[in-house]
Amino acid sequence: MKLLVALIPLVALCTGNAVPMVPGDNSHYVEGESRYIWMPDGDGVPHLVDLEAPVPPEAADSRNGANNAYWLFTRNNPNNAQVIVQGDANTIWNSNYVASRPLIVIVHGWNGNGNSAINPLVRDAYLAVQDANVIVVDWRGSAGGLYTTSVWAVPSVGQFLGDFLTWLIETAGGNWNNVHLIGFSLGAHVVGNAGRHTGGRPARVTGLDPAGPQWGGNSNALNTEAGQYVEAIHTDGGLLGIFDRIAHADFYPNGGRNPQPGCWISTCSHSRAYEFFAATVQFNHLVGRLCGTLQQAQSVQCTGSNLNMGNGVLTKRGDGIYALATGNSWPF
């Protein structure tokens, strides 16, 4: 009897509906089966998400990309945003936007906003090495609240972003060959939709640990049609991120799964994707080796040709599965 009593909690933990108690620990999670998962907000704080929570119809209908905000940063205003409003050309003329510069677009993930950790980190890395137009997309109105509702909002948020970029380039000048879209988690699927909405014209699209829950088999997920060259960096595959290939070049640092070096919880491994990327923009030092299979990538046993992970080189191109080992702290 004592043995039976002792086993009851263990059995409960193995069921798909068990509520995990340790913040950020997703070791219980089984893709496609588990109801609950810990997800980080824009500051990396874990929140328990119920993937089966009912969504009020009015909540879903009220979320779309019409409320996206577009914050421009340049070397002339590296810390203070200039807000560009679609349809108001004066907001461009009164800004530091220069058509001949590279155009870098950064999109945060669930429960984030324009001030979330990814934005200053990636923005500052770019401005340290390039005289660029960096646009941070703030879609907090649709990114907050129920995760499922935010998932439903992604296509609209991406389409509005695509329309904004088309208007910006047509109004103030620019070149799609100078455009690099970068999205983290749900933001990776946002930039996927934005890129497809513009006909795949952006030179580069980078998905930073593209969100996994509710995205398996989802036609709105990031794919190779989003840009001329699409890259994904997988750091929490099978938990908060997608593990399977979705891009032209898919990178699996340290095997692409939790725990990443220096992390002990899934939410930390998820955020490693944008930390790795920012480091590569500034230092371009993390080099992947081509793998024959995902299994080789997971065990970091790849011996093929080299391709640098991440970086800000607009002409970069590659194809295949790549693995590499990193350090456990900046710049990795």
Q: Are strands 204-208 and 249-253 parallel, antiparallel or unpaired?
A: unpaired
Say how far apart CA 133 and CA 102 lie, in whole Å: 6
- Alpha-carbon distance 202 to 250, whole Å? 18
3-state helix/strand/coil string of the chain = CHHHHHHHHHHHHHCCCCCCCCCCCCCCCCCCCCCEEEEECCCCCEEEEECCCCCCHHHHHCCCHHHCEEEEEECCEEEEEEEECCCCCHHHHCCCCCCCCCEEEEECCCCCCCCCCHHHHHHHHHHHHCCCEEEEEECHHHHCCCHHHHHHHHHHHHHHHHHHHHHHHHHHCCCHHHEEEEEECHHHHHHHHHHHHCCCCCCEEEEECCECCCCCCCCCCCCHHHCCEEEEECCCECCCECCCCCCCEEEEECCCCCCCCCCCCHHHHHHHHHHHHHHHHHHCCCEEEEECCHHHHHCCCCCCCEEECCCCCCCCCCCEEEEECCCCCCCC
Q: Is residue 139 part of a domain?
A: yes
**Given this model, what pLDDT does residue 16 score?**
59
Q: Is 252 among the domain residues?
A: yes
Range of the domain at 160: 2-324
Give the pLDDT of residue 44. 93
What pLDDT is recorded for position 101? 98
pTM above 0.85, yes or no: yes
Residue 306 has, within 13 A of its CA and on its CB side, a CA count of: 5
Our answer to whether residue 116 is catalytic in this structure is: no
Question: Can you state the angle between helices 186-197 and 147-172, rounded to 10 degrees?
Answer: 40
Q: d(Cα 216, Cα 1) in Å, to the nearest integer?
A: 42
Q: Determine, yes or no, domain membership for 330.
A: no
Q: What pLDDT was estimated at residue 290? A: 98
41, 138, 209, 250: which is the annotated catalytic residue?
209
The token pair that represents 268 in the structure block: 């930390």
Q: Give pLDDT, residue 9.
A: 36
Assess if residue 247 is contained within a domain.
yes
CA separation, residue 284 to residues 10, 136, 204, 302, 327 (Å): 46, 22, 16, 20, 14
Please name every residue paired with 46 in a beta bridge, in sequence order, or none if there are none.
40
Q: What is the CA radius of gyration of the chain?
A: 20
Q: Note the pLDDT of residue 62.
A: 76
Q: How many domains does the chain have?
A: 1
pLDDT at 56: 83
Please say if 219 is a catalytic residue: no
Residue at 50 is within a domain? yes
Is residue 163 annotated as part of the catalytic site, yes or no? no
Strand partners, 321: 250, 291
156: in domain: yes
In a domain, 332, yes or no: no
Q: Residue 184: which CATH number?
A: 3.40.50.1820
Query: Of these residues, 95, 185, 266, 271, which one is catalytic?
Result: 185
By DSSP bridging, strand 36-40 and strand 46-50 are: antiparallel
Q: How far is CA 248 from the centre of its chain?
A: 16
What are the 10-residue block averages of pLDDT along the chain, 332 residues in total? 32 60 94 95 95 84 91 98 98 98 98 98 98 98 95 97 98 98 98 98 98 96 98 98 98 98 96 98 98 97 98 98 98 98
Please report the pLDDT score of residue 58 as a whole number.
Answer: 78
pLDDT of residue 1: 33
Q: Is 39 contained in some domain?
A: yes
